Amino acid sequence: MAGYTPAITAIEVDKDYNSNHTAFGGWNPETKKISKIHFLKMMTALNGGAALSPPFYAMDTITLAVEAGALDEKNFHEMLSGADLDALCDGLVELEMSWVNDRHFRAMGTVLGFFEEQLYTYPSIGEALRETFAG
Protein backbone atom coordinates (compact mmCIF):
# COMPACT_ATOMS: atom_id res chain seq x y z
CA MET A 1 0.00 0.00 0.00
CA ALA A 2 1.41 3.38 -0.98
CA GLY A 3 1.57 6.18 1.55
CA TYR A 4 1.16 9.87 0.96
CA THR A 5 2.57 13.11 2.24
CA PRO A 6 0.06 14.88 4.47
CA ALA A 7 -0.63 18.50 3.62
CA ILE A 8 -2.16 21.35 5.57
CA THR A 9 -5.10 23.27 4.18
CA ALA A 10 -3.93 26.03 1.86
CA ILE A 11 -4.81 29.67 2.46
CA GLU A 12 -4.32 31.60 -0.75
CA VAL A 13 -2.75 35.02 -0.25
CA ASP A 14 -3.46 36.20 -3.76
CA LYS A 15 -5.06 39.14 -5.57
CA ASP A 16 -8.49 38.42 -4.03
CA TYR A 17 -7.05 38.18 -0.51
CA ASN A 18 -5.12 41.42 -0.97
CA SER A 19 -8.14 43.31 -2.31
CA ASN A 20 -10.27 42.02 0.58
CA HIS A 21 -7.57 43.06 3.04
CA THR A 22 -7.36 46.53 1.52
CA ALA A 23 -11.14 47.00 1.64
CA PHE A 24 -12.03 45.20 4.89
CA GLY A 25 -8.95 44.80 7.08
CA GLY A 26 -7.33 41.77 8.68
CA TRP A 27 -3.79 40.41 8.55
CA ASN A 28 -1.37 42.08 6.17
CA PRO A 29 1.29 39.51 5.28
CA GLU A 30 3.56 42.16 3.73
CA THR A 31 3.75 44.53 6.72
CA LYS A 32 3.14 41.76 9.30
CA LYS A 33 0.47 43.88 11.01
CA ILE A 34 -3.14 43.35 11.98
CA SER A 35 -5.95 45.81 11.44
CA LYS A 36 -9.62 45.80 12.41
CA ILE A 37 -11.78 43.52 10.30
CA HIS A 38 -14.80 45.48 9.06
CA PHE A 39 -16.99 42.40 8.87
CA LEU A 40 -20.36 44.15 8.54
CA LYS A 41 -19.06 46.18 5.61
CA MET A 42 -17.67 42.98 4.07
CA MET A 43 -20.99 41.15 4.46
CA THR A 44 -22.81 43.96 2.67
CA ALA A 45 -20.27 44.21 -0.13
CA LEU A 46 -19.46 40.53 -0.75
CA ASN A 47 -22.41 38.43 0.36
CA GLY A 48 -23.85 36.35 -2.42
CA GLY A 49 -21.39 36.66 -5.28
CA ALA A 50 -17.84 36.64 -4.06
CA ALA A 51 -15.31 33.93 -4.73
CA LEU A 52 -14.55 33.92 -1.00
CA SER A 53 -17.30 34.09 1.59
CA PRO A 54 -16.89 36.74 4.30
CA PRO A 55 -16.82 34.20 7.18
CA PHE A 56 -14.09 32.16 5.45
CA TYR A 57 -12.06 35.30 4.68
CA ALA A 58 -12.32 36.33 8.35
CA MET A 59 -11.28 32.88 9.56
CA ASP A 60 -8.38 32.78 7.08
CA THR A 61 -7.06 36.23 7.98
CA ILE A 62 -7.38 35.51 11.72
CA THR A 63 -5.57 32.21 11.17
CA LEU A 64 -2.71 33.85 9.28
CA ALA A 65 -2.27 36.41 12.08
CA VAL A 66 -2.27 33.69 14.78
CA GLU A 67 0.20 31.57 12.82
CA ALA A 68 2.52 34.58 12.49
CA GLY A 69 2.43 35.10 16.26
CA ALA A 70 0.73 38.51 15.94
CA LEU A 71 -2.67 37.56 17.38
CA ASP A 72 -3.79 35.72 20.50
CA GLU A 73 -6.46 35.95 23.18
CA LYS A 74 -4.84 39.05 24.69
CA ASN A 75 -5.05 41.24 21.60
CA PHE A 76 -7.90 39.61 19.65
CA HIS A 77 -10.07 42.71 20.18
CA GLU A 78 -7.58 44.70 18.05
CA MET A 79 -8.68 42.67 15.04
CA LEU A 80 -12.34 42.00 15.75
CA SER A 81 -14.80 43.41 18.27
CA GLY A 82 -18.24 44.91 18.76
CA ALA A 83 -20.82 44.64 16.00
CA ASP A 84 -18.24 43.17 13.59
CA LEU A 85 -17.52 40.33 16.02
CA ASP A 86 -21.24 39.70 16.50
CA ALA A 87 -21.78 39.63 12.74
CA LEU A 88 -18.95 37.11 12.26
CA CYS A 89 -20.39 34.90 15.00
CA ASP A 90 -23.77 35.04 13.25
CA GLY A 91 -22.09 34.31 9.90
CA LEU A 92 -20.32 31.25 11.29
CA VAL A 93 -23.73 29.71 12.03
CA GLU A 94 -24.33 29.63 8.28
CA LEU A 95 -21.26 27.38 7.87
CA GLU A 96 -22.93 24.59 9.81
CA MET A 97 -22.39 22.07 7.01
CA SER A 98 -18.73 23.01 6.39
CA TRP A 99 -15.92 21.09 8.03
CA VAL A 100 -13.54 23.05 10.24
CA ASN A 101 -10.21 22.89 8.50
CA ASP A 102 -7.00 22.05 10.34
CA ARG A 103 -5.58 25.57 10.31
CA HIS A 104 -8.78 27.22 11.54
CA PHE A 105 -9.02 24.54 14.27
CA ARG A 106 -5.49 25.18 15.54
CA ALA A 107 -5.79 28.99 15.33
CA MET A 108 -9.05 28.99 17.28
CA GLY A 109 -7.46 26.61 19.77
CA THR A 110 -4.74 29.21 20.31
CA VAL A 111 -7.23 32.08 20.65
CA LEU A 112 -9.89 30.24 22.67
CA GLY A 113 -7.91 27.53 24.40
CA PHE A 114 -8.02 23.93 23.29
CA PHE A 115 -11.52 23.05 24.44
CA GLU A 116 -12.14 20.73 21.53
CA GLU A 117 -15.92 20.65 21.94
CA GLN A 118 -15.91 24.36 21.04
CA LEU A 119 -13.83 23.80 17.92
CA TYR A 120 -15.63 20.98 16.08
CA THR A 121 -18.04 23.18 14.11
CA TYR A 122 -18.03 26.75 12.85
CA PRO A 123 -21.26 27.54 14.76
CA SER A 124 -19.65 26.37 18.02
CA ILE A 125 -16.55 28.47 17.26
CA GLY A 126 -18.87 31.46 16.77
CA GLU A 127 -20.56 30.80 20.12
CA ALA A 128 -17.17 30.51 21.85
CA LEU A 129 -15.87 33.72 20.25
CA ARG A 130 -19.00 35.59 21.32
CA GLU A 131 -18.83 34.16 24.85
CA THR A 132 -15.13 34.98 25.21
CA PHE A 133 -14.78 38.35 23.48
CA ALA A 134 -18.18 40.07 23.21
CA GLY A 135 -19.30 42.48 25.86
What residues does each domain of the chain span?
15-133
SS (H, E, C) the chain: CCCCCCCCCCCCCCHHHHHHHHHHCEEECCCCEEECCCHHHHHHHHCCCCCCCHHHHHHHHHHHHHHCCCCCCCCHHHCCCHHHHHHHHHHHHCCCCCCCCHHHHHHHHHHHCCCHHHCCCHHHHHHHHHHHHCC
Verdict on whether the full-model pTM lies above 0.85: yes
pLDDT in tens, 95-104: 988 999 999 9
pLDDT in tens, 5-55: 888 899 999 998 999 899 999 999 999 999 999 999 998 887 655 556 899
pLDDT (0 to 100) of residue 87: 96
Round the average pLDDT of the chain to a whole number and report it. 91
| 65 has a pLDDT exceeding 70 | yes
